[in-house]
Amino acid sequence: MLHGYYLPHPPLLVPGVGQGDEIPATRASMQKAASHIASIKPDVVVIISPHSTLYADYFHISPGLEAAGDFRQFNAGKLKYKVQYDAQLASTIARVALGEGMHAGREGERSAALDHGVLVPLHFLHEAGVTAPIARLSLSGHTLIDHYRYGMALREAARQLNRKMVIIASGDMSHKLNDEGPDGAGHHFDAFVGECLAAGDFARLMAIDMRLVTEAAECGLRSLIILAGACDGKQVHSEVLSYEGPYGVGYLSAHIQAEGKQPSLLPLIRREAEERNQAKREQEDAYVRLARLNAESYVSTGRKITPPDDLPAEMLTNKAGVFVSIKIDGQLRGCIGTISPTTNTIAEEILQNSVSAATQDPRFDPISEDELPLLSFSVDVLADAEPISSSDLLDPHRYGVIVTCGRRRGLLLPMLEGVDTVEDQLRIVLQKAGIYRDEKYTLERFEVIRHE
């Protein structure tokens, strides 16, 4: 039997940071979970933290034989913790994941210090007398399906080493409970995840609307999805232990048991994702359809398509800069574009940039044939950029922005999920361009017509 827990990580639970009793139901759940884990006497406790080293295209696993951390970030530096790592399990997880086509490994750790996503549950484990070594896993920018598959690889690695493993998926729910009424996205997200956990319905959880996820500003969904993947092919029994949201953040605790055998959910999850995507494709306009068909052709055959004769006239006569964005389950999978036209028509610009987005975005591996049924496309046709004298003239819901400092230049499209303020827009575009805020740079703004 596999035991897993979904546990929050508010530092207030730890005496010395808070009083320890500010979130009483959550504290009781953490103590109950730690006591149960102590009774299991696991060989290893895997803790999945959203605050460990994170990469867009890589599942990071903390390296080495041991690690330490403290709560100095929360003005309690005297609270120190030390753990032993299960290095053999860490390397086996990476090997199994790589064998399944996922990038995972122990390279590139930015900070060896344990983060609070690990430290908070670790405090309760130590309090309960749990001394087993841990494996510290992080998330990635990959899709929910990839996180689910990563969980499957995690369980397989433990099986190969005959490890009695307990998994703690560390994560908080929505961080926006105070920003909206009880019918808002944060409350809706927390309720939906809670319902899925209470029913042990991971297939429904995997079908969550990613717009809702973005609006809720959560930090625990992907941790939970990895745990769900580790339970794949087994009968799941799940119990919600508690839920509280007193400070505008949702704290949900749950216990998951997986035993016996049942068919893998992965084929069903993938089939339902493809069906949802096919329904979206029935609403494509000519711009999006051209981008998708061309990318599919190039990935499958290495050849671009010839633009069909029935395209709108403006696509065959007008010139413009064009950005093509590709997503899977709401997660960016590739985006390449041109600020100004580099070809003779918008159609040619789409053909060029859809191939580049699918195969040349340096942030991602080239798209594979297996991914094609899951892809969704959008096409932004850019109007001419105009110089502006102040960021006061920006609006992230209407204008994109271009920043320039010498040879460094960055662009950010408008109407992006999670980019709601000018401050957000400038921070992201300056980071993309490698420009510091205190450097002298110029601003341009532009409007787009978005096809999606």
Q: Which residues contact 298 (CB under 8 A, 6 or more apart)?
A: 304, 354, 355, 358, 359
146 and 190 share one domain: yes
210 and 94 share one domain: yes
Instruction: For residue 282, give Cα distances in angstroms to 72, 84, 325, 333, 354.
Output: 53, 53, 18, 21, 19
Q: Are strands 235-244 and 251-259 parallel, antiparallel or unpaired?
A: antiparallel
DSSP 298-362: HHHHS-PPPPPTTS-HHHHH----EEEEEEETTEEEEEEE-SS--SSSHHHHHHHHHHHHHHT-T
Residue with tokens 């993947």: 229
The predicted pLDDT at position 56 comes to: 85
- 148, 228 contact by CB (below 8 A): yes
* Domain end position, chosen among 268, 286, 314: 268
183 and 329 share one domain: no
The predicted pLDDT at position 171 comes to: 97
96-120: b or e for each residue (b if 16 or more CB lie within 10 Å)?
Answer: bbeeeebbbbbeebeeeebbbbbbb
Q: Are strands 44-48 and 134-137 parallel, antiparallel or unpaired?
A: parallel
Residue 90 to residue 256: CA distance in whole angstroms: 22
Both structure tokens of 93: 């997880």
Q: How many residues does the chain have?
A: 452
pTM, two decimals, is 0.88
- 396, 384 contact by CB (below 8 A): no
235 and 314 share one domain: no
- 60, 49 contact by CB (below 8 A): no
Residue 159 to residue 422: CA distance in whole angstroms: 49
Both structure tokens of 309: 């004769």
221 and 85 share one domain: yes
Single-letter code of the amino acid located at 321: G
Split into its structural domains, the chain has a count of 2
* Domain end position, chosen among 234, 268, 302: 268
121 and 31 share one domain: yes
79 and 192 share one domain: yes
**Cα torsion at 109, 112, 114, 115 (round to 10°)?**
-50
* Domain end position, chosen among 252, 268, 284: 268
Single-letter code of the amino acid located at 64: G
Q: Which residues contact 447 (CB under 8 A, 6 or more apart)?
A: 382, 383, 398, 399, 400, 414
The predicted pLDDT at position 182 comes to: 64
The predicted pLDDT at position 233 comes to: 96
Residue of 214, 208, 117, 129 whose CA lies nearest to 171: 117
214 and 339 share one domain: no
HSE-up of residue 232 (Cα within 13 Å, Cβ side) = 24
Residue 413 burial by Cβ neighbours in a 10 Å radius (0-12, 13-18, 19+): buried
Tally helices (H) and strands (E) across the chain: 13, 18
Return phi, psi of residue 212, to 5°. Answer: -65, -40
328 and 234 share one domain: no
301 and 157 share one domain: no
Q: Which residues contact 95 (CB under 8 A, 6 or more apart)?
A: 157
221 and 261 share one domain: yes
What SS3 string covers 33-51?
HHHHHHHHCCCEEEEECCC
Q: Which residues contact 15 (CB under 8 A, 6 or more apart)?
A: none
Residue of 225, 47, 13 whose CA lies nearest to 123: 13
Encode pLDDT of 360-414 as tens digits: 999 888 999 999 999 999 999 999 999 999 999 999 999 999 999 999 999 999 9
Look up the CATH number of the domain holding residue 401.
3.30.700.20
296 and 346 share one domain: yes
**Which domain covers residue 347, as residue numbers?**
276-451
Return phi, psi of residue 422, to 5°. Answer: -60, -35
- 45, 130 contact by CB (below 8 A): yes
Look up the CATH number of the domain holding residue 121.
3.40.830.10
- 50, 140 contact by CB (below 8 A): no
Return phi, psi of residue 195, to 5°. Answer: -65, -45
Residue 137 to residue 284: CA distance in whole angstroms: 39
The residue ranges of the chain whose pLDDT is under 70 are 180-183
DSSP 246-274: TTSS-EEEEEEEEES----SHHHHHHHHH
- 414, 365 contact by CB (below 8 A): no
